[in-house]
Structure 1
């Protein structure tokens, strides 16, 4: 292992001993992980809270067996590299990075003072992008980009409907579609219609007060070219009716048991290609690098965010599980909070 700062052990982390949901999360003192070949140890500054986090804690993710307990959740991470394992090149201690955690590989998540990431998954962050802003990107941004561009093959000029546009994935999807040159419709509650307008959504839809099918039909009489469903769970009564013949339906994988899925026959009758997508581990670095660059250059902006201390991870997860979080909840470590406070006190 290489590195110029030996982290103290144990570290503080939010961890769980059973798959009993957010209520199983509690603060624990755990050993600082040691990076193996091809890995980096990152001192965490900020992490995002995603639906995948509470699903992990509820035992809904099949790639997290009992053997991984005690489990440190967390897929999104942003922080500073402090050490690297054997064979790592081009990633030095002191580098500011964003990444998706190696949790699916049994290497733990990001909700602690330190976390392991695969060096190949780490994306360098420019100084203009804060750790908190960077933590809004990985899982939701990668999922949206994979769904729209890699799987959905969205093209300039096409009409896309984003169901669930006010969450982290939806807001990144709106900006990805806009940069692609697509025309955008998106659904959300009344409090987010102004946000849609500011992001260039051509057809904002208040699903609580408007008929979604009627609004889409008036905007795209033949149906949209692509429907990105970030919500699932039967939130759209008849998604096939909203899509043109030969169009595409891309659903973000929810991994919820017994989820009500759309009628496959209705898709087949119109020649609609139905795709289920999620954050791809293999393509994550390329997606993340593109989003970091677009954000640093001002072509995209991080979604509205709320910061909470890492100690409030369980409450944050519960809120995400309930839905209707605008943008992202970001958890910051004590280290990051202290660093931010010191900077505000003495900018020099």
Structure 2
């Protein structure tokens, strides 16, 4: 019965616990219902999960066959002795003894302008990743005949060390926890378990996107990074770049700085300014002061998945001339008589 569960994971009964976990992560990612909707994938995922739980005894059932098999293997590979106390701790706390989560996310940060976020755009980029070797599926060998059960740990991937204080399982130094010794590596990946893959990313980013918004890249499967971690999901995360004369507040409203000549600020009137690629008419009240703020409703940033827009806040900067001619001086002196 136990042999059947190993076969579901594409392994043999001599496979180490580390190999069981790697096979489970790989297959669970491949057949996860969220990535492969459908009854067939769902049933396959359940089968894989059950096999993993039975082999690792996570369901705590009274499986006598597994218990006897586990005890027999442990007794065969036990190593008793004091050992080096420092080596024991190094082994116990080494990174190899920690299991990474099966689902990992890779985040690609994308900086865009406020105008790009307002209008929406198509993000395209090439990315260099690693892909599980399609020949050996990450095992590093392409047939069981090219491997032998590790003689040091009897295929368990660990040996038991007993000190004066406690007993721990230490990763087998001969097979590096794999439980097998590989004699002939996969020719395609040269024993790496992965091959280089240049992927083309393409995704439509909708108008009105805000900083921190993530978009999942579809169509990328079995991708791994340089450390052999499997990525089940790859996202791009949007960040809006700050700009000199335009900004976006936390409510999505646009704040724009415009310069108004001092005569226009006194007399009032209307001016046009190009904001977010659009010519906006702004009504300037009489006697507008420097740093005054004018509200233009419904002319701000696009709201994502909507036809509405936020508000636009115009920050006024009154501009005075740096030089004047005689005619302008005469006119200003006459004007001065009415105010001073």
TM-score (norm 2): 0.19
Structure whose residues are more often strand by fraction: 2
TM-score (norm 1): 0.18
Larger-gyration structure (1/2)? 2
